[in-house]
Amino acid sequence: MSPGSGSQPTTTEPPVSRLVDARRQPAVAGPAARSPQWGVAVLLALLFGVGAAIARRPDVAVLGALFALIAVSTPRRFGNRHVPTLEFDRSVHAQVTGGTRRRILFRDAGPDPRTVPALMVVRAVAPGGRESALIATTAETPGLGIRVPRGGRRDLLAYRVSAFSPDLGICRHESQTGKLTAMLQPSPDPVRRLPTPSALRAHAGSHHARLRGGGTELRDVGPLRPGDDRRHIDWRATARNTEASGMPLVRRYLAPADAGVTLAIDARVDFPARVAAWIDPSLDALRMVTSLQLTRSAAGSLAAAYLARGDRVGMLDAVGFSSPVRPAGGHRQLELLRRRFAALAVSSSSILPSRLPTPAPGTLVYFFSPLLDHDVASIPARWARAGHVVAVVDTLPDPDATDLPFSEAQALTLLMATRGAVRAELAAEGIEVLPATVLRESVERWGLARSRANSLPGGGR
Amino acid sequence: MNALLRRPRPERRPASLEPLALGTYPASLLALIAAGLLLAGCLPAAVLNAQGRDPVSLGSGVAVAVAVAALILRWPQHVTALIALLLLGAAYLQVSTVGWWTLPLYVLAAHGIYVLLALSALAPRSARFTRQALLEAARAAAAPQLAAQLLSLVVLLLSWWAAPAAGTLGAVAGIVSAGILMAGAWTASRVARRPENPN
């Protein structure tokens, strides 16, 4: 948002979630070969004809004539030169909701009405799933059923379209390949009472938010409007003003803001709520709440809330090699962060960076992790010892142990015990653990507690 | 590390292309109809054998027809379609004494088997077909099928009135014509099932 626009940053706008149709290969026409059906029929007709002439047998000639009839009835080439191009209807570009089932229509982009419609074979396969197909004519507009994931960037299906003549007696085919991807950004959950530790002021000093407020940095000079402080009327500027309205001009100042926030992400694993889906790959985890889903949602909510009040927010990949996002403010930063959150994915590599990434100095650090091992717990502890104010957001969904075999149930018990030990270690370091499933309540409670502890009236601004 | 964490994370997902709107039919239904058409097409031969009071011949004929129908249901492919068409032709050669009413039944059964199995082989077993696609394929394949049926009719006539060698030759020609018809569909299915576009 530009300072001169005089309005709040538009951080309350819903994030854009949509389907993206990426053409991997443009529609092309295959070689126009002659049909083997036609060729064999012609050959046999000739053989019977020659045989009938040599043997002087009219009955054999009749058989040859019938093979000739087959050859005549078979078109030798694909009748038209049209290359079918799959085109989704406009609903594919509309806003999508995660966790739902969506039906999108598609059709051939430019069928030739003068020719007979061809058969269109649409083959689609979801990553790791079974292949399926739909056979329709190029004149139809069939539908495609899609399960929209709950969040993130996911390849929904790769499709391939081929077209044939309706009698299938044609070698020539025309095809196109593409990929349908869902890009679902997290929906923010409004958090009102945000913690702003007093220690931050000592580290970072104040910076100016892009909001109007009672700071010292001049923001703009404009006509007096309801809500403006009359003590800030600039009489000299008003005297120089040549407009006929005669409205006094007032000096507006930027509001001060103190906090910088770093959102550190642990994206090594992505576990759904149902524990059986961790070990049974046939279970569909696409529509389940997963740890990365909670990370996207919680981080997006905090980023939107902090940026809405003019603070600076950055992002850090705590256990991976993704480039960090420097703390900054504004609507563009929120869009950048939302895209990064949506693109969060489990890394295929299990190698951890040898050097622990460092949050920006003086920033409040939120560390998002499912807290499954002690190695991860040491990261926020080291940041806290370095002087950062750190809170850990526990992103593991409430485990659902339905249909879990006995041995796996025992393993889950051990895992929960490990998580309890990790949480105890963090508590011993004075690090607050906030469950992501009830993020708003826990963050507001923590913010209230910190503002009271620091004797900051209005700590939750 | 905990046993749960050593397991691979869930990656496999079911197909995203789900059963679609009304008016689409699964490939398994097409195979079922083709098997039914085969049995119906063989019915006149069964009637003929029953009139002739030849239970062994009747039983073996019915067993073969049911076996081929089961084969169609299990593998709706070109090979099974060719076997079914040949069986139908063999049955048809026996039924000339039953009556001319068998001719439309035979033509309908042969045409249906050809169209349905050629389409079934075009895509995976989970494929679905729109009604318009089925009608368009049936209409487009009618001309070569009609030619093949005329050929079979000539075979029948030749076996009555011409020399015996002509009947044998005509039977061979009938087999070849069925092969010709399936060759085009087989080529199309190979192209449709090709993993990547060669271009």
Q: What is the DSSP string of A354-395?
A: SS---PPTT-EEEEEE---SHHHHHHHHHHHHTT-EEEEEE-
Residue B17 domain flag: no
Q: Which of B20, B140, B162 sits opposite A142 (nearest CB)?
A: B20
Least confident of A356-365, B11-20, B46-55: B11-20
Phi, psi of A412, rounded to the nearest 5 degrees: -65, -40
Label residue A417 by pLDDT band (50, 70, 90): very high
Do A363 and A327 form a contact (C-beta atoms < 8 A)? yes
DSSP 8-class letter at A336 = H
Residue B7 domain flag: no
- B16, B116, B152, B187: best mutation site toward chain A, by most A Cβ within 10 Å? B16
| Secondary structure element (H or E) that encloses residue B60, with its range | helix B55-74
Q: Does A47 touch chain B (CB under 8 A)?
A: no
Between the alpha carbon of residue B165 and those of residues A45, A400, B90, B162, B171, the distances in Å are 18, 77, 17, 8, 10
Residue B165 domain flag: yes
Q: Which of A142, A166, A173 sits opposite B191 (nearest CB)?
A: A173
Q: Burial level of A58, CB count in 10 A (0-12/13-18/19+)?
A: exposed
Any idea which architecture A199-203+258-453 has in CATH? 3-Layer(aba) Sandwich (3.40)
- pLDDT given at position A453: 63
CA distance A372 to A421: 10
Q: Which of B19, B183, B196 sits opposite A37 (nearest CB)?
A: B183
Task: Enter the tokens of residue B33.
Answer: 């109809």
Residues in chain A within 8 Å Cβ distance of B5 = 269, 372, 415
Better pLDDT: A166 or A224 = A224
Between the alpha carbon of residue B26 and those of residues A102, A229, A274, B120, B123, the distances in Å are 21, 73, 32, 9, 11
| Secondary structure element (H or E) that encloses residue A223, with its range | strand A207-223
Sign of CA dihedral A360, A301, A267, A184: negative
Residues shown for chain A? 461
Residue B117 domain flag: yes
Residue B12 domain flag: no
pLDDT one-digit tens code per residue, B76-135? 877 788 788 778 777 766 655 556 666 677 777 877 887 887 788 777 777 888 888 888
Q: Taking 60 as the threshold, does the pLDDT of residue A436 lie above it?
A: yes
In chain B the first and final C-alpha atoms are separated, in Å, by 48
Residue B161 domain flag: yes
- List where CATH 3.40.50 sits in chain A: 199-203+258-453
- pLDDT given at position A200: 45
Q: Taking 90 as the threshold, does the pLDDT of residue A450 lie above it?
A: no
Task: Enter the tokens of residue B35.
Answer: 């098997």
- pLDDT given at position A78: 45
Label residue A345 by pLDDT band (50, 70, 90): confident
CA distance A130 to A460: 51
- List where CATH 2.60.40 sits in chain A: 18-32+79-184
Do A290 and A150 form a contact (C-beta atoms < 8 A)? yes
Rounded to the nearest integer, the mean pLDDT of chain B is: 72
Structural domain boundaries enclosing B40: 24-192
How many helices (H) does chain A have, and how many strands (E)?
10, 16
- pLDDT given at position A309: 77
Q: Which of B136, B154, B169 sits opposite A137 (nearest CB)?
A: B136
Mean pLDDT, residues A20-41: 64
Residue B199 domain flag: no
- pLDDT given at position A203: 38
Question: Which residues fall within 8 angstroms of residue A342, CB to CB, at 6 or more apart?
Answer: A151, A152, A153, A183, A184, A185, A186, A296
- B24, B160, B180: best mutation site toward chain A, by most A Cβ within 10 Å? B180
Label residue B160 by pLDDT band (50, 70, 90): low
- B9, B17, B191: best mutation site toward chain A, by most A Cβ within 10 Å? B17
Domains held by chain B: number: 1
Residue B13 domain flag: no
Sheet strands (E) in chain B: 24-26, 128-130
Q: Taking 70 as the threshold, does the pLDDT of residue A201 lie above it?
A: no
Any idea which architecture A18-32+79-184 has in CATH? Sandwich (2.60)
Please identify which residue in the block is written with the tokens 């105890």: A424
